[in-house]
Amino acid sequence: MKKMNEIVHNIFELPSLIIDQFTIFNSQLDRHINIDKTVAILSAFPVFLLDYYGIEEIRKD
């Protein structure tokens, strides 16, 4: 989730909002694919957990 947030918002910490797949893709396109033909690999499982449980539950200590 931190890597996803870094790709989209350039901040390596847990996100404060749910980030949709389209936004992640567009950020990858702008920051990686169009620049040097690379892509960051993200597991779908943490994104699923964030979507399923919500931000507050994930951020609990």
pLDDT digits (tens, 9 = 90+) for 8-59: 999 999 998 889 999 999 999 999 999 999 999 999 998 899 889 988 888 8
The token pair that represents 50 in the structure block? 């964030």
Rounded to 5°, the CA angle 15-55-52 comes to: 115
Q: Which domain holds residue 19?
A: 2-59
Domain count, the chain: 1
57, with CB counted inside 10 A (0-12, 13-18, 19+), is exposed
Predicted TM-score of the model (pTM): 0.81
Amino acid residing at 13: E
- The H-assigned helical ranges of the chain are 2-9, 21-28, 34-36, 44-53, 55-59
pLDDT of residue 24: 94
pLDDT exceeds 70 at position 61: no
